[in-house]
Structure 1
Amino acid sequence: MSESEHRMIEILRILSAQDKPTGSKLIADELKNKGFNLGERAVRYHMQILDEKGYTERMGYSGRQITDLGREKLEKGLIYDQVDFIHSKFEEMIYLADFDYMAQSGNVVVNRSIIYNEESINIMKEIIETGLSVSPYVNLNKVGSKGEIEVTTLCGTTIDGILLNEGIPTQLKYGGLLKIEDNHPTKFTELISYKKTSVTPLDAFSNTNQTSVLDVITKGSGIIPANFRLIPAIGRQKAVDIINQLNKIGIGGIINISNEGENTLGIPVPEGMVGISIVGGITPFCAIKELGEEIDIKIAEEITDFKTLSPITNVNKPTLKPVNQKIHPHIPFLLSKSWNLIQQVNFNVEKRKGDIIANVSYIKKDELDNAIAIMEETYNSNPKYINPYYKLVDHPTDDSKVGIATICSLSIDGLLINNGIMSNPIYGGLLELTEPPLFIDLISYNGTTIDPHKIFLSKNMTSISSNIGTKKILASFKEVPYIARDYAVYLLEILKNTGFSIYKIGKPREVTYNAKADNYNFGVVAGSGLNAIGAIKEKGIDIEVKAIEKLIPFEEMDRL
């Protein structure tokens, strides 16, 4: 589900809760409370789309109301389907892209984004001129009464479609952040797999505090979004020839093509395969965001005829140089880094003593009293959902800062494993506290290098501390073998009574809060220790969010 689709689902949720027509100002205010910074102009644009789809209906000057079709859309938007949908959607787009690069005709995959300031087009041109895009071919279309401009750009998935049409299958693997040093691509710093996520990988990294595209073009060093895929090694030379032809007609963005089985940019490549890295199609839009401009980015949105696009500028000063061939250590995925900590959890539920895994986030010391007050207020108003334990720790290098350690939900997996019960962390998610609560986003722990909860916090998607509207908090989903259910329930109930955030213990084959466990397993939904930290962030206090940092004796922790 793209960010734009999330926003429209949230608008439907808001209208569904109203018993009268609702205007764009109220909707914008409610969206802000839900973590979506969307102005009234952007809301009106989204409402027009919802009207066209039949999900909403305009009621004169009073505003809109949701239709029966809109309610049906809400009911069917199950997130456990979405975690498989993203990868399937890209495979569908690859299949439908039938572009003939020799004739320069046929269908291509495009991103459609909305900008609200016409001057942003100049920024986009500047980025395209440096080669930090897939193609200069775009289409600009005024779509709103307030000057909104729909920008259609070529998506890198088009190249996968072209290769497939030439008999070269691609396996789209990861979207991530790529580090550039002295104009040389060096290594991926973060990755998210295209499988088992409801958030499009590059969408997860499209925030101003994640990328530094402008630094790349002005200083030669920074972070850009990029994609990574695999092709069979036997097709390497043919792929190189095709890519060279594509460059001649204005379709590019290729960062690197590895040799067979060659580690590239910190990603291992299996024997018999070749890795290809491509600039993220959203890179020009990330630059616009970095300048603080409002933009609604939609990724791999649809198929369109190539003839509807035309060059907006020329690629006349390419920025990127050849890849730095230094062999970098493989970038470790989250669970690979976490399993050693999980195994060291030795918390005794009956004695309430032993080591747990802690998140440690850092804040200025002069903000500490305010931060603790926010944590206390958040816990007191949500004792069912907020873990009350914390510990203050020293910052390793900065005496002006202090760390706030909270209990990581992976501690629960460690406790169960320490008691002979296998527990697998499956998803980090965003849980909306409806009745019953429902996951509205899920990211697999197994396919990401960054804690999913940090992603949701960086995109301001939570509403933990708000007293208006439905709260959205951080939670995780775990799988435990059904045969161990009785003993697991016994241990989990003790943990819950101790103050750990255990929200739901599911049954086999049950959809638990919108997440689904495999056969012969049951699901456990637990709260994140970062919820209290998220509440601090929502109040505008600058806090450096960290996750899965270290082991801490539980008995040394304080309670709110």
Structure 2
Amino acid sequence: MPESEHRMIEILRILSEQDKPIGSKLIADELKNKGFNLGERAVRYHMQILDEKGYTERMGYSGRCITTLGREKLEKGLIYDQVDFIYSKFEEMIYLTDFNYMKQNGNVVVNTSTIYNEESIDIIKKIIESGFSVSPYVNLNRVGNGDEIEVTTLCGTTIDGVLLNEGIPSQPQYGGLLKIEDSQPIKFTELISYKKTSMTPLDAFSTPGLTSIMDVVDTGSGIIPANFRLIPGIGREKAISIINNLDKIGIGGVIAVSDEGKDILGIPVPKGMVGIVIVGGTSPFCAVQEKGQKIDIKIAEEIRDFKTLAPITSKVRNSLKPVTHDIQPKISFLLSKTWNLIQQVDFNIETRKGDIISNVSYIDKDDLDSALNIMEETYISSPKYINPYYKIIKHPDDDDKIGIATICSLSIDGILIDNGIMSNPKYGGLLELTEPPLFIELISYNGSTEDPHNIFLSKNMTSISKTGKPQKILASFKEIPYISRDYSVHLLDILKNIGFSIYKIGKPRELTYNAKADNYNFGVVTGSGLNSIGALKEKGMDVEIKAIEKLLPFEKMDRL
């Protein structure tokens, strides 16, 4: 991010923290406290630009206020803070929880989502009665005279707060998807770490098609959202006692408590620690989504007085069998699975031959011609951002399907490593093509079982093929030791000329399209091979996406 852009973001941040208009002198003083030596005249110059962009508004002689558009810009512009903020937000919520379960009063953490009809209330009630929620305590707030209803439910983070108040530190680790068979919790199938992500894990998995809570309620088998946290082993018995006491007053959702140092549901538990699995507070809302009802889901939104909530039902039952401690295969995280593929990349820059990593996406065979036309149009309209290489491959079992392989951005890490340069894939992100482009979402590759780009595609967050508003495309952020920068730039320039999507080569201590590399490293932003596939999805084509799938010889690939 250029220094001027950084200054304007900081000005917006200062304005967002005020509840009244402020002038350039106060802004200049606040900037100085943050390490920016900007005089009043320079502040006024920056404010004029912010006014013109619609990010701020002059309020007479009182000064300026931030606008709604400015708040949106601030949220996007501080994405490098946001990847740390999510975990900090949950720590803050845990600290602010002062609920006394003996007196049943105090503050709790809640999720507030918006539904749009009475039928959705019935679905929420059914899920709560089946025990797939943290609590039957809710608040229903009808908005205006329409059908819009705000539904506030208890978040599982409340339990972390209660444990902390009792002297037991609870550390949120993962949010994910938990497989249930015959009412028996089996193992987590997907996980995202609460650290180094701009999107809460359960938000990432609150997507149609990923959960099947209604199936679990109706048949005993399916997928539900769940969270995993760690506590010290010495606090296990006390924690179980607290959990039992909470359950008696209607705050539950605890699926399992591991033995000390014993893995549970496929998640490794460190020595001396205990794992606790709690149903995701979004479960009732995901069920509404599964039924095709309109809903706006928000997660761990705020702190609320427990007395503002009331039971929606008194008929809550536990639908799940106890978790057995049979050892399940440990869940495999994304980078663990891909480092072996990265090491096998042997593409030779001089001969332009050798293996790269590919994504493989499957479509109906009858749609192939249309798909290639869309991919070609997308490349022609945005050649700077779209990788033109692809390969048609057979589906392993279905003759009516055909595969389209594209180049995975992790191939670039493999090529650099093959040339003696350590390249570390850090984030998969969603890049908005403003001027300059900015990452508006980032999910760390480390601690995720799912490719971040798959998540953004499943949530329909891209706008690769659309015109008008700034496009949102898939991109990755890598970091490379500064000592190797000159040689890296040389190799990356060659790869860019070949057709690999290299968007930006950063400098040390520089925000590169709003992402930050560690000290003594620099960042590189590359495009995803799934951008052309995302265009197919945006056009309404049914696509089964398999990210980071297999090795393919580059010389066998075709070009759009």
TM-score bucket of the superposed structures, by smaller chain: 0.7 to 0.9
CA distance in 2: counterparts of 1:235 and 1:184, whole angstroms: 26
Tell me if 1:327 matches 2:304: no
Residue 536 (structure 1) shift: 0.5
**Greater shift after overlay, 183-192 or 74-83?**
74-83
Q: What is the distance in 1 between the residues matched to 2:308 and 2:190? A: 34
Aligned-partner residue type, residue 338 of structure 2: S
- Residue aligning to 2:458: 458
Letter in 2 for 1:113: S
- Structure 2 counterparts to residues 67-82 of structure 1, below 5 A: 68-77=66-75, 78-82=78-82
Identical columns (%): 75
CA distance in 1, matches of 2:326, 2:222: 18
Name the stretch that deviates more: 182-191 or 465-474: 465-474
Where structure 1 has 5 or more consecutive residues not aligned to the other structure, the ranges are 1-11, 13-53, 58-65
Q: Can you list the C-alpha shifts for 1:14-48, whole angstroms capped at 9, x where unaligned?
A: xxxxxxxxxxxxxxxxxxxxxxxxxxxxxxxxxxx
Aligned residues: 500
Residue 122 of structure 2 corresponds to 122
Matching residue of 2:534: 534
The equivalent of 1:15 in structure 2 is none
Counterparts in 2 of 1:317 and 1:75: CA distance versus 1, 3 Å: closer
Q: How does 1:501-512 map to 2 (within 5 A)?
A: 501-512=501-512
Question: What is residue 428 of structure 1 aligned with on the other side?
Answer: 428
Is residue 505–residue 523 contact of structure 1 (8 Å, CA) maintained in 2?
Answer: yes
- Which stretch shows the higher mean deviation, 334-343 or 68-77? 68-77
Deviation at 1:56, TM superposition (A): 9.8
CA distance in 2, matches of 1:536, 1:428: 20
Deviations 1:171-228 (A, max 9, x none): 1000000000000000000000000000010000001110000100111100000000
1:443 counterpart residue number = 443
Which amino acid is the alignment partner of residue 129 of structure 2? E
Query: What is the deviation of 1:55?
Result: 8.3
Cα offset, 1:350, TM superposition: 1.4
Residues 102-127 of structure 1, C-alpha deviation per residue, up to 9 Å, x if partnerless? 11111100011111112200000000
Give 1:171's aligned amino acid. Q
- Is contact 2:136–2:316 with CA below 8 Å preserved after alignment? no
> Contact 1:357–1:408 (CA<8 Å) still a contact in 2?
yes
Q: Secondary structure at the match of 2:245?
A: helix
1:292 aligned partner? 292
Q: Secondary structure at the match of 1:189?
A: strand
Amino acid at match of 1:69: T
AA matched with 1:114: T
Distance (Å, rounded) in 2 between the aligned partners of 1:494 and 1:538? 31
Instruction: Tell me the distance in 2 between the aligned counterparts of 1:299 and 1:168.
Output: 24
In the alignment, structure 1 residue 211 sits paired with structure 2 residue 222 = no
In structure 2, distance between residues paired with 1:297 and 1:144: 19
Q: CA deviation at 1:470?
A: 1.2
> Conserved in 2, the CA contact under 8 Å of 1:198 and 1:441?
yes
Alpha-carbon separation, structure 2, partners of 1:56 and 1:509: 28
Residue number in structure 1 paired with 2:382: 382
**1: CA distance, partners of 2:395 / 2:475:** 27
1:483 maps to 2:483: yes
Unaligned 5+ runs, structure 2 = 1-11, 13-53, 58-63
- Distance in 1 (CA, whole Å) between partners of 2:136 and 2:397 is 45
Is the 2:55–2:73 contact (alpha carbons within 8 Å) kept by the matching residues of 1?
A: no
C-alpha distance after superposition, 1:429-455 (max 9, x if no partner): 000011111100000000100000000
Partner of 1:41: none
Question: Is the contact made by 1:352 and 1:554 (CA closer than 8 Å) also made in structure 2?
Answer: yes
CA distance in 2, matches of 1:264, 1:280: 17
Q: TM-score, normalised by structure 1?
A: 0.88
State the match for 2:246 in structure 1: 246
3-state DSSP class of the match of 1:398?
A: coil
State the alpha-carbon separation in 2 of the partners of residues 416 and 302 from structure 1: 45
Q: Deviations over 1:246-270 (max 9, x none)?
A: 1110000000000011110000000
Root-mean-square deviation over aligned CA pairs? 1.5
Deviation at 1:146, TM superposition (A): 2.2
The residue type paired with residue 463 of structure 2 is: S
Aligned residue for 2:319, secondary structure, equals coil
Equivalent residue, structure 1, for 2:282: 282
| Greater alpha carbon shift after TM alignment, 145-154 vs 213-222 | 145-154
- The answer on whether the counterparts of 1:131 and 1:315 sit within 8 Å (CA) in structure 2 is no
The SS at the match of 2:123 is helix
Question: 1-side partners of 2:381 and 2:298: how far apart?
Answer: 36
Partner of 1:24: none
Specify the code of the residue in structure 2 equivalent to 1:492.
Answer: L
State the shift of 1:503 in Å: 0.3
CA distance in 2, matches of 1:396, 1:455: 24
The residue number in structure 2 matching 1:515 is 515
Closer, same or farther in 2 for the Cα pair 1:412/1:55, shift >3 Å?
closer
Give 3-state SS (helix, strand or coil) of 2:446's partner.
helix
